[in-house]
């Protein structure tokens, strides 16, 4: 499992967009995006670097924890 801080995730719309972007790349991923504390936890077959690139491309830069 990978965890990130996503400073630009401020609402439910942001978390939904992040979830859609990740699931588009890995349909079997488990995504827990929490805007209240700007935390993202992802269980996926993608690498951490792939996730960071995907999130950057989606407009949500992420910092690994």
Single pTM value for the model = 0.93
Q: Quote the crossing angle between the two packed helices 48-57 and 12-25, to the nearest 10°.
A: 130
The whole-number pLDDT of residue 16 equals 97
> For residue 5, what pLDDT band results from cuts at 50, 70 and 90?
very high
> Would you list the domain boundaries of the chain?
2-64
CATH 3.30.70.3460 fits 2-64, yes or no: no
Identify which of 54, 4, 63 has the alpha carbon closest to the alpha carbon of residue 32: 4
Helix H or strand E encompassing 58: none
């Amino acid at each position: 499992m990978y965890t990130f801080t996503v400073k630009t995730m401020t609402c439910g719309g942001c978390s939904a967009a992040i979830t859609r972007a990740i699931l588009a790349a890995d349909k079997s991923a488990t995504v827990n995006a929490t805007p209240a504390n700007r935390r993202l936890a992802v269980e996926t077959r993608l690498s951490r670097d792939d996730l960071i690139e995907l999130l950057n491309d989606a407009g949500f830069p992420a910092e690994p924890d």
